[in-house]
Structure 1
Amino acid sequence: MSLITPDVEAVPKSSNLFNSADADIVVQSSDNVQFHLHKNNLQCTTGGLPPVDISNDKETVYFPESSATLELLFQFVYPRQFPSLTSLDFDSLLLLAEAAEKYKVFAACTACFYRLREFEKTHPKQILEFAGKHDYRELAEDVQPILVDTPLSELVDILPSPMIFRNWSLFRERHLMKAVEDEKQAFSRHKRTHKCNAALSGIKGKTRR
């Protein structure tokens, strides 16, 4: 787990939402906000929290994420209504999605997945990179039609999953083959139309004589 070195000169603040007196673990964000949490909730609702090396109650763990990201993330580990993500801009949503995947906060992973789909047309490359990194094949398939004309050389570094890269390559090949076939058919129709027009012109010329 990636931890950061705390800023010893800064006085930490407490989160307004997560400040329970009976908390048994404290998470401190990169901007010095402390979240007082309960290990049982973290263990029951996540696959990556609390850190395995935490043994003492009230021990402080330092996370590299900001307080804005963590305050949203930790709302998914308690039995309460989950926060709405509809007002999040794309960059903030992506930070939350990465944190959810990193700490395996499964409810947040699902919520972010569906919200990310709303940005597929405006941020297709970032969506594809996220999908490849975390093996979200459905997200990758969603942006295939949007990025199908993008050269593979521009995408190869953000398609780390062999299966996603294979599927993407096959989809693009089918698209290119169809485009070539459509072009051939269009050219054939044009030739037939040209011949018909020429024949009609010849008939009209003979009629005038």
Structure 2
Amino acid sequence: MSTNTASATVSQTDPMSTKEKAVVSRKFGPETGGDVVFRSSDNVSFHVHQKHLEVYAEGFPLAKHTTPSQNEIIPLSEKSSTLEHLFQFMLPQRPPELDGLDFEQLMALANASEKYVVYSAQSTCALYMRDFLTSHPEQILKYAATYHHNSVIYTLAPQLVMKPLTELANLLPHDVFVPWSIYRSNFHGLLSALGDACAISSTHPQQHKFQEVRWLRKIQQVKDEIKKDPTKLSQFRTLIYQADLAGEKVCECHCCNPFKEWVTKVCGDIGKMEDIKIIARKYLAEKYARG
């Protein structure tokens, strides 16, 4: 039977069906002296020290309440590739590097670390999730909300701020939902302020009034771009002044100073927008002060 990579060997003595030979993890084989034997969903056995389970984890079956024997095999629902990494977090050594895992593998490990309460793996997986924030934001938000990794949720806020609150009300913990709501309100306030540009006029003579139209068109384009990707709010000035696909740029002569001054004001307001982590700290401080 095949397993992931060359991380397992065949055992002739394992009490499995005679029709099927057991596969034993090379890193967690019987020669390690492990006194608890787990079997993955793809039939790979792992011999793990019960003392390590008791120190590094809280959720493994039979880890504390029984005296296991080598003839007793505890089935687990995770694949061997997941357990191979998970059990390494329960050794008195430096935890494994997870750079080689793709998103699905990392998520499987993260869920297992939460299920079996392996603290060092929990925090490490949450840290590595940041490598996939752009490609899998929705899945990571659900994971972080489920397991209360608030710092990961806060990191996602600038990217998912356009998400309707109705979709978050039953997902985010209350102490995160409130700061998120405030942050979202502040963001939408800035976005709405971009509509104020329609009241601006340049001092161009009538024959050059098309420059105003170009400015207003550009502002609307940037607003639409920010709606699609809210993280671009911090790039507002750059987006306004960069050339469009046709190579055209907004006029920056003195006649358009009212527009340029407005851009400077908007950038100042963007710079003053509080980070969601600051909002959360203030909210919690006020909450605990009220008792």
Q: TM-score, normalised by structure 1?
A: 0.81
CA distance in 1, matches of 2:66, 2:190: 57
What displacement does 1:109 show? 1.4
Q: Is it true that 1:55 corresponds to 2:67 in the alignment?
A: yes
Q: What is the CA RMSD across the aligned residues, in angstroms?
A: 2.2
**Equivalent position of 2:261 in the other structure:** none
**Equivalent position of 1:13 in the other structure:** 23
Q: Specify the SS of the correspondent of 1:169.
A: helix
CA distance in 2, matches of 1:10, 1:149: 53
What pairs with 1:29-108 in structure 2 (closer than 5 Å)? 29-49=40-60, 51=62, 52-58=64-70, 59-108=72-121
Q: Is the 8 A contact 1:131 1:137 kept in 2?
A: yes
Aligned length: 188
What pairs with 1:188-203 in structure 2 (closer than 5 Å)? 188=199, 190=200, 192-193=201-202, 196-197=203-204, 200-201=205-206
After TM superposition, the structure 1 stretch with the greater mean CA deviation from structure 2, 132-141 or 144-153, is 144-153
Q: Is it true that 1:116 corresponds to 2:129 in the alignment?
A: yes
What displacement does 1:122 show? 1.0
**Which residues of structure 2 form unaligned runs of 5+?**
1-15, 208-291
Q: TM-score, normalised by structure 2?
A: 0.59
What displacement does 1:85 show? 0.7
Q: Is the 8 A contact 2:168 2:177 kept in 1?
A: no
Q: Specify the SS of the correspondent of 1:34.
A: strand
**Which residues of structure 1 form unaligned runs of 5+?**
1-6, 203-209
Q: Is it true that 1:131 corresponds to 2:144 in the alignment?
A: yes
Amino acid at match of 1:168: W
The one-character-per-residue Cα deviations of 1:109-144 (angstroms, maximum 9, x if unpaired) are: 122111111111111111111110011111001111
CA distance in 2, matches of 1:10, 1:164: 50
Amino acid at match of 2:96: P
Ranked by relative contact order (alpha carbons within 8 Å, sequence separation 6 or more), the top structure is 1
Amino acid at match of 1:76: F
CA distance in 1, matches of 2:152, 2:24: 36
Amino acid at match of 1:62: P
CA distance in 1, matches of 2:189, 2:66: 56
